[in-house]
Amino acid sequence: MEGKTPSFSRTEQVQILMPEHINGYQRLFGGKLMEWIDVTAAVAARRHAGRNVTTAAVDNLCFKAAAYVDSTMVLVGQVTYVGRTSMEVRVDSYVEALSGEREMVNRAYLVMVALDENQRPTPVPPLIPETYEERQEYEAGRRRAALRRQRQNENF
């Protein structure tokens, strides 16, 4: 199986916040952002795997800034680490000003699993990090994967 670079999976989703995206505190509803993060991660993972995927885990969903009606939200995702059948995808979410300046709202890591035609996990191509940042992210992803396995073994 031929490997792919992180940039091959890179995807960007852009939304303008409408009143239906807002909670009772007049800010972006966290559940809506979680939905967009999941979709962005799925697109990145599908690009890498060339298959349908399912979400297996979401790490570290912390909100660093608020977003309001008429804000432009930009979500950027790409595969950062792969195992045999799973992929870690980082999704960064920003509020983008009309000037183009971005303020980070959230960074999330999701684990997506590639599925075959019978909805069973199937192998994915290896990841080929090209830049220093991609190699650093890959190594951090390896450590996060080990922590997830450890936590899973402790919880079950």
Condensed to tens digits (0 to 9), the pLDDT of residues 21-43 reads 999 999 999 999 999 999 999 99
The confidence score (pLDDT) of residue 151 equals 85
Question: What pTM value is reported for the model?
Answer: 0.94
Closest listed residue to residue 93, CA positions, set 137, 121, 62: 62
pLDDT confidence bin for 114, thresholds 50/70/90 = very high
Looking at residue 7, the DSSP 8-state letter turns out to be H
Q: In angstroms, rounded to a whole number, what is the distance separating the alpha carbons of residues 82 and 124?
A: 8
